[in-house]
Each structure stands twice: as C-alpha cells, then as structure tokens.
Chains A and B, each alone.
Chain A
Amino acid sequence: MSEFMLLDAKAPATMEAVVEAVMRLSALSEAQILELVSAGKLSEVFPFRPKSGQEIPPDFVSEDDLVEASALPLNREQRSALVQSSMPSHTKSGQRRGLLGAARTFTRKKIKRSSED
C-alpha cells in the first residue's frame, strides 16, 4: 500500500497504482499538468488524495518559530528531507522510500529501454 488514498473507494491506493499515475503524468508537460489541475481534472489522471487525519497546523506562527528558507541550492540530504516532509503523514518511512524508490526504478528502466531502442 502507498501513503495515498483512492479518491472514490476510500481505501489505500496500491503503490503500483500511484507509480503508474506518476508515470502517466510525467509523460505530460508541466503546462499540460497545470491546465489539468486548473480545470479540476487532475483526479482523472491522479485519483488519489493524502490520507486524512493529519492535524491542521495553527493559523499563526511567531517570528521566532519560523524557519526561513535559504535561497542557496540544497544538498542531497536537504532535498531528501524536503521531499519526505511533503509526503502524506501516517506512513512509515520505509513505505515512503518504497514509493520514491519505485518511481526511480521505473524511470531508470524507461531510460534503459529507450537507449536500447
């Protein structure tokens, strides 16, 4: 299972289903994805939502508690932490790694196939 829920079935989406959807989307341009999202049609190609149950953060944060972003390039570890913080919660880290790893493996295979063609 992945960390996403199916929109309709209210059941966890399989990792394979999420990876397939990501691969379908990655065949589109960013402008095409923007238009799909703006037309409210993203669910036609990515029919998932994060698992519910995460607490909504407070409306206000004091200046002392804000961690301002650096405008410098991020290193590999910082990038990895940022991606992890963006994934739905209530997921074991192994599952998150599994989804990201599956996407990377799929891409590597795709690249290998196209280089062999």
Chain B
Amino acid sequence: MASNPPRNFVRFAPSKADKSRLVDIRITLMTGGDALWWDARLGPWHARIASRADRLWSWSVLLPMCHLVQLAKRRFCRPLVIWARADNGQFVRAGMSILIEQYPYLDVSAPNESHFVWFISAADSGVLGSRYGVSDPPALGRVLLDNAIVLSQNAGLSGRMGLHAAAAGGAGLLTVYVKCGLLQLPATAPLPTSIRRKNDGRFFYADQPVAEALAALLDPAR
C-alpha cells in the first residue's frame, strides 16, 4: 500500500560540518544537461580522488545507457539530482543518483518488489566549497537513500529498497551503509533468480520497518 499521505522528498539535509544544523537542498529530475555539467565541472576533480568509487563514472554516458538497459528489461529508471544552496543564494548540483523502480526485492524469504539504488554520487565537499561557494555543504548519504525509500513507499512498495556497494568503495563504503542503518544481506543468502550474480556480501537493503524508521528520521526535513 502507498504511504498515506505520500511523503515528499526532503528539502533540508544535515550540514556536513555540524549534523545538528540543517541546510537547504532541492531535488529535481536528472536531464542530459545535468549529467554533462557534472562530468565537465566535477568529474575532473573527482577523478583525482583515488578513494572515490565513482571516480571513473561518466554520467553523460551512464544516464542514457541506464535508461536503455532498464527499458530492455521492462523496468524504469528514476534519475535524480540533489542541489545545495551556495553562499550566493542560488543552487548548485551536489548529488546525483539513478534508481530503478520495481526491482526484485533482495530478501528472497519475502519475495516482492522494491526500488534499487544503482548509481549514487555526492560532490566532494572541498570542491563544492572552494569552486562553487558552498561554505556549508550538506551530508547527502542518508538523503540519497531516503529518495529511494520515499519513492518505494509512494509506489506502494512499503519503502523496500536495495543496493550493491561498489567494490571500488572498499570496506569504507560498507561501513557507510551500515552507519546509514541499512541491513546487510548475508554473503550466504541467495539472491533473487532474476539477478544473475553471485552474492559477494556487498548487497544492502531496507525492509518495511527499517525503511519507515529511516524515513521518519528525516520527516522534519521534508
């Protein structure tokens, strides 16, 4: 059942420097122009940060490719951009994500559908500050996951969502998702048969109670 009333996306996120303070963000649908901007303006900086799992991603290739691949699988992508307010009062792109709607739920003991977080990136806060005048950058990890949970709830999928942590993110990325409150699928757990992949222990998910708890945490920011 869809959440009633439907939840909106958040419009504030905790400040990266002081989590008790909220800063303005906005969320829009991603277009080819957004992907082009990200690749041209942030891509070269991110490519220099060896620890980033997304350092080699080209969003202007990813965006159409993801749509086409999912259309071929009879599914649909919902690509989103998160904008942060800069010191000049205007907004600048600070986060990117490509979610897949109606994806097989990772917990096979409760076969169902969920939303899947395929690609997510947050802009390097140092670059946002030094080049784009965002002196108080937002912490976007939970927001990027909340978007998937809210879309899943509003689509009647009870907030169920899943993701795979890129191996390039190492153990650090696993820690991030654990700290965000997601459940880690045991490496011994089978995956849904339509996911043609061996479980490498890097899959995370939210069931209905976890999704509701995570969404409720951010309700004051909607």
Real complex partners, A and B?
A: yes
Residues of chain A touching chain B, judged by Cβ–Cβ distance below 8 Å, are 4, 18, 22-23, 25-35, 37-40, 42, 46, 48-50, 54, 56-57, 59-63, 66-69, 71-74, 79, 82-83, 85-89, 99-100, 103-104, 106-107
With A57-B37, A72-B154, A89-B32 as known contacts, state yes or no: A50 contacts B91, CB within 8 Å: no
**How many Å lie between the Cα of A49 and that of B67 in the bound state?**
14
Interface 9-mer from B13-21, B23-31, B174-182, B206-214: B23-31
With A37-B119, A85-B31, A99-B68 as known contacts, state yes or no: A56 contacts B167, CB within 8 Å: no
- Secondary structure class of chain B's binding surface, majority of residues: mixed
Q: B56 near A40 (CB under 8 angstroms)?
A: yes
Q: A38 near B197 (CB under 8 angstroms)?
A: no
Whether B78 sits at the interface, judged by CB under 8 Å, is: yes
Q: B63 near A60 (CB under 8 angstroms)?
A: no
Q: B195 near A38 (CB under 8 angstroms)?
A: no
Whether B221 sits at the interface, judged by CB under 8 Å, is: no
With A30-B164, A38-B53 as known contacts, state yes or no: A50 contacts B61, CB within 8 Å: yes
Which residues of B are found within 8 Å of A61, using beta-carbon distances?
83, 90-92
Q: A63 near B91 (CB under 8 angstroms)?
A: yes
Whether B125 sits at the interface, judged by CB under 8 Å, is: no
Q: How far is the CB of B88 from chain A (nearest CB, A)?
A: 7
B 123-169 contacts with A by CB, 8 A: 132, 147, 150-151, 154-155, 164, 166-168
Q: How far is the CB of A105 from chain B (nearest CB, A)?
A: 10
B 60-115 contacts with A by CB, 8 A: 60-65, 67-69, 71-74, 76, 78-80, 83, 86, 88-92, 100-101, 103
